């Protein structure tokens, strides 16, 4: 057998991001920096005759939760059961890096759902990528730029909505070039936050974590308005009907989507507060 699976190098992650572009997944221009900082031990290459022909990631969030992504086999090597081998390696390796009983999440493209089910991933809900041309809208004065002093509060809200602590990921995300991070603060304190970052095509809002619809709308207007005239994307959990309503109000159309699935028990998350998924690669 000429294939082997090994840890990926930092430069090979850039190759995987490039493959993701070709698959139409539209990663952020600087996402690789955030991903690598989050867990440099979580990225794997499938190699054949010394050449990388496949990729997969399995990021551990402090051993409490895992998330799989970047599951790509180069087209000319597909239908050779290499994907199965890569996925089985990832599940086994990631389980060994997680606490006992910790679950693993994925956002899998819809046509692969039956395959993931064979590997014991269970369907939770659909995450839909919505698209529109951003417009300038007047928004509340409670929407302000995030500063370093806000980090602990932002982290607490993020932990509530994501379900697990991801300090490293969040620090890297909030300091990304070609991005904007906004918060909504009123007399009750922090009510929500969101990030928009430049992607291969257009700009993506995510995460968008808030206490209610009104805050989501004001943050959306602030974030989208910062790139008025350009394409904007928002990845919404379909089970949050208010997120669907927000996307419809601003004439966003579904153009891509993934099935959120879990190996093990699905974490209990406050979906009514989740209006924008952070990334399809790391959850």
Confidence of residue 1 (pLDDT cuts 50, 70, 90): low
Alpha helices in 6-150 (DSSP H): 10-22, 31-38, 82-97, 113-118
Confidence (pLDDT) at 203: 98
- For the chain, percent of residues with pLDDT exceeding 70: 100
Confidence (pLDDT) at 198: 97
- For the chain, percent of residues with pLDDT exceeding 90: 94
In 3D space, the residue among 165, 141, 143, 142 whose CA is nearest the CA of residue 152 turns out to be 165
Number of helical H runs and strand E runs in the chain? 8, 13
Residue 81 zone, left/alpha/beta (φ > 0; ψ -120 to 50; rest): left
List, for residues 64-86, the tens digit of each pLDDT value: 999 999 999 999 999 888 989 99
Concatenate the DSSP letters of all residues of 242-254 into one string: HHHHHHHHTT-EE
Contacts of 41 (CB under 8 A, 6+ apart): 7, 60, 97
List, for residues 206-243, the tens digit of each pLDDT value: 999 999 999 999 999 999 999 999 999 999 999 999 99
Kind of pairing between the strands at 253-263 and 121-133: antiparallel
What average pLDDT does this structure show over 257-271?
97
Confidence (pLDDT) at 22: 87
List, for residues 181-212, the tens digit of each pLDDT value: 999 999 999 999 999 999 999 999 999 999 99
Rounded to 5 degrees, φ, ψ at 225 are -60, -25
User: What's the whole-model pTM score?
Assistant: 0.95
The pLDDT mean for the chain works out to 96
Confidence (pLDDT) at 24: 82
Distance CA 146, CA 195 (A): 10
Domains along the sequence of the chain with CATH: 3-128 (3.40.630.30), 129-255 (3.40.630.90)
Confidence (pLDDT) at 23: 86
> With 90 as the cut, is the pLDDT of residue 6 above it?
yes
């Amino acid at each position: 057998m000429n294939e082997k699976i090994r840890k990926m190098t930092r430069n090979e992650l850039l190759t995987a991001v490039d493959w993701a572009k070709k698959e139409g997944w539209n990663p952020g221009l600087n996402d690789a920096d955030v991903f690598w900082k989050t867990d440099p031990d979580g990225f794997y290459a499938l190699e054949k005759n010394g050449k990388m022909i496949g990729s997969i990631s399995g990021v551990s969030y402090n051993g409490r939760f895992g998330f799989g992504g970047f599951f790509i086999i180069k087209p000319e090597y597909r239908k050779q059961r290499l994907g199965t081998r890569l996925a089985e390696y990832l599940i086994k390796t990631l389980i060994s890096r997680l606490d006992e009983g910790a679950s693993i999440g994925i956002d899998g493209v819809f046509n692969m759902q039956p395959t993931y089910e064979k590997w014991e991933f269970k369907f939770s809900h659909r995450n839909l990528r919505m698209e529109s041309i951003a417009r300038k809208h007047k928004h509340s004065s409670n929407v302000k730029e995030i500063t370093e002093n806000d980090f602990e509060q932002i982290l607490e809200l993020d932990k509530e909505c994501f379900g697990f602590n991801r300090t490293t990921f969040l620090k890297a995300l909030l300091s990304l070039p070609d991005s904007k991070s906004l918060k909504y603060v009123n007399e009750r304190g922090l009510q929500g936050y969101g990030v928009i970052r430049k992607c291969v095509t257009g700009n993506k809002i995510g995460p968008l974590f808030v206490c209610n619809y009104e805050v989501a709308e004001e943050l959306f207007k602030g974030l989208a308005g910062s790139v008025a005239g350009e394409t904007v994307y928002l990845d919404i959990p379909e089970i949050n009907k208010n997120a669907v309503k927000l996307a419809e109000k601003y004439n966003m159309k579904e153009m891509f989507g993934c099935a959120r699935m879990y190996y093990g028990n699905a974490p209990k998350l406050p979906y009514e507060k989740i209006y924008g998924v952070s990334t399809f690669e790391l959850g």
